[in-house]
Amino acid sequence: MSFYRAVAVTVAYIRQNIVQEVLAEIFNTSQSSISRAITATTPVIAAALQVGVPDLAEAIRGEVTLVDGSLLPCWSWRKHPELYSGKHHTTGHNVQVVASLDGRVLHISDPLPGKTHDITALRQHGLDTALDLSNTIADKGYQGLPGAVTPIKKPPGEKLHDHHRATNHDINSLRAAVELANAHIKNWKILHTDYRRPLKTFRETLDAVRGLIFFTMDSE
């Protein structure tokens, strides 16, 4: 298989998460050839496109930022219970997504086990110091993060005041943009439907998709 053809196979697989046997029929080759092409080419794509992944400090300069956690689902590996997310009731990897108010993806973090809470993930990635939290909007999963704008909690046994409900409505309206960014990321079906390749390959696959996302954004 030529390098060009191997890249085409790998990008098709990443984009649609197509079963390898189906890809073999499409490209008129064997399933084993498809598997070898994906294994060999995914890290090459990741390395080649790394240069196009923006520096976080530069990407957020002058921007009001929105941050949200996203679970990227995968198969359930019995030896890795840490992948199970109680919030989502399934297994996967937690990534932190930073977006602008117009829904542009500014940053996609490295993966952490699915059980990781969003505020913990944000801190482990150092985003609590990298972001200007006074200029950052987040959901209730980040409540308690000093300086960040998050929805107001309802006091135990009480109701929210009308002006607090109005504030929460405004916050949630602004946060819709980060949901748009998450949807854009999950257009790459390898991150939206269960990841079937060996668990140890997930990081390099995410690196490749991240590079492709910013590459396509630069090309628009």
Extents of the domains making up the chain:
1-52+198-220, 56-186
Q: How many residues does the chain have?
A: 220
Answering whether pTM is above 0.85, one says yes
**What is the pLDDT, as a whole number, of residue 144?**
86
**What is the pLDDT, as a whole number, of residue 62?**
85
The pair of structure tokens assigned to 160 is 């929210």
Residue 160 above 90 pLDDT? no
Alpha helices in the chain (DSSP H): 3-16, 20-26, 31-49, 56-59, 118-124, 127-130, 162-185, 202-219
